[in-house]
Amino acid sequence: MKTIAQFRITKDEDTYIAEGLDLAIITESNDLDTLMKNIEEAVALHLEGEKISDFDFSQKPSILVNYELPKYA
């Protein structure tokens, strides 16, 4: 059973985009602080009313985010 829901964050021009690796969630924001709040809210809404064990998660999974830095030449 998973205890962590993972997200990958990338930046596209002025927008940060978070994509769930374990859950079908995508959210975006112009700043990282708001993006973190968006991720928490999206996870809560995604799991609301669902049997969390059907997603193979523990009752209160943590959220892990990875920020992909752009490649510089």
Per residue in 36-46, pLDDT (tens digit) is 999 999 999 99
Whether 44 contacts 50, CB under 8 Å: no
pLDDT at 69 over 90: no
Helix (H, G, I), strand (E, B) or coil at 8: strand
Q: Confidence band (pLDDT; 50, 70, 90) for 71?
A: confident
Instruction: Report if residue 48 sits inside a domain.
Output: yes
Find the distance separating the first CA and the last CA of the chain, reported in whole Å.
Answer: 40
The pLDDT of residue 36 is: 97
Instruction: Report if residue 53 sits inside a domain.
Output: yes
Instruction: Report if residue 33 sits inside a domain.
Output: yes
pTM for the model stands at 0.88
The enclosing domain of 24 has a CATH number of: 3.30.2390
Instruction: Report if residue 50 sits inside a domain.
Output: yes
Domain limits for position 23: 2-67
What are the angstrom distances between the C-alpha of 45 and each of 2, 24, 32, 39, 69?
A: 18, 12, 20, 10, 28
